[in-house]
Amino acid sequence: MQNPDRGTRRAYARVLLKLSGESFASEGAFGIHPTELATMASEIGGAVACGSQMAIVVGGGNIIRGSHLAASGRFDQSTADYMGMLGTVINGLALKEALKSAGVESRVMSAVAVPSVAESFIRARALRHFEKGRVIILVAGTGNPYFTTDTCAALRAVELGCDVLLKATKVDGVYSADPRKDRSATRYSTISFGNALEQKLRVMDLTAMTMCMEHSLPVVVFDYKVAGNIRRAVSGEGLGTLVTVS
């Protein structure tokens, strides 16, 4: 698949959308807020209507943060990370039900075996779901501790032949500094992976960034809180920040 030029406004054929766990909760809260969930499902439905195939990697920070448990020193990191993976399963199941209510067919595929509630991730089966017009919800990260859901998003995007990785955040792109702390911070419309790494900009974790760079997978960082932005990102409308190899 070919990546459309940023100015053509032609929908990407196949995308991977990375959602953080906090996108399922109300501001500053934990758990799953029904209104936030329904809004997200509606936004995804509008994006899928563009005709693009979509896979979604969900985080689990609204349920449990494995990294925080590990940092406390009271949990082995492997155990804490597995707990975090199970949090993403909860979010994935919730999103599936919300998408069903919005008229969008989807399947939950897990990197950790939970056959009672989700299919195991198998690449060929995932591609078949694409062919049938289903959204794929990918949970449990890579199935391995010590890897973030950002790394999972990069891995699955490459593995599934996606044209772009869409990273949904609460800010409208990548800035030269934290815009909440530095009023002089400027937003990049485009930036290379090399420059982002050199400036230590927090686009994704190092492993995820390196994988995207090595496989020439562009990343679009955008604000999902603005109504219609997921559809605009899928449509290639040039919002947020585009991170590319060159």
Q: Which two tokens stand for residue 188?
A: 């990049």
Q: What is the pTM of this model?
A: 0.92
CB 130 within 8 A of CB 89: no
pLDDT at 11: 85
pLDDT surpasses 90 at 106:
yes
Mean pLDDT of 33-42: 97
Return the residue matching tokens 């943060």.
Answer: 65
- Summarised one tens digit per residue, pLDDT across range 166-203 is 999 999 999 998 888 888 999 999 999 999 999 999 89
Instruction: Give the strand order in the sheet containing 119-120.
Output: 119-120, 106-110, 135-139, 53-58, 14-19, 164-169, 219-223, 241-244, 190-192
Please report, to the nearest 10 degrees, the dihedral formed by the alpha carbons of residues 60, 63, 68, 73 taken in order.
-120
Please, which pLDDT band fits residue 125 given cuts at 50, 70 and 90?
very high
- Half-sphere exposure (CA, 13 Å, Cβ side) for 103? 7
Domain parsing of the chain, residue ranges: 14-244
Mean pLDDT of 134-143: 98
**CA–CA gap between residue 17 and residue 209 (Å, rounded):** 15
Q: Strands, DSSP E only, in 41-110?
A: 53-58, 106-110
Percent of the chain scored above 70 by pLDDT?
Answer: 96
pLDDT at 4: 42
Please, which pLDDT band fits residue 67 given cuts at 50, 70 and 90?
confident
Question: CA-CA distances (angstroms) from residue 145 to 69, 76, 89, 228?
Answer: 13, 10, 15, 34
**SS3 label, residue 202:** coil
Fold of 14-244: Carbamate kinase (3.40.1160)
Return the residue matching tokens 């998003």.
Answer: 153
Give the DSSP per-residue string, 4-55: PPTTT----SEEEEEE-GGGGS-TT--S--HHHHHHHHHHHHHHHTTT-EEE
pLDDT at 102: 97
Strand partners, 110: 120, 139
pLDDT at 29: 85
Query: Greater confidence, 27 or 43?
Result: 43
Please, which pLDDT band fits residue 9 given cuts at 50, 70 and 90?
low
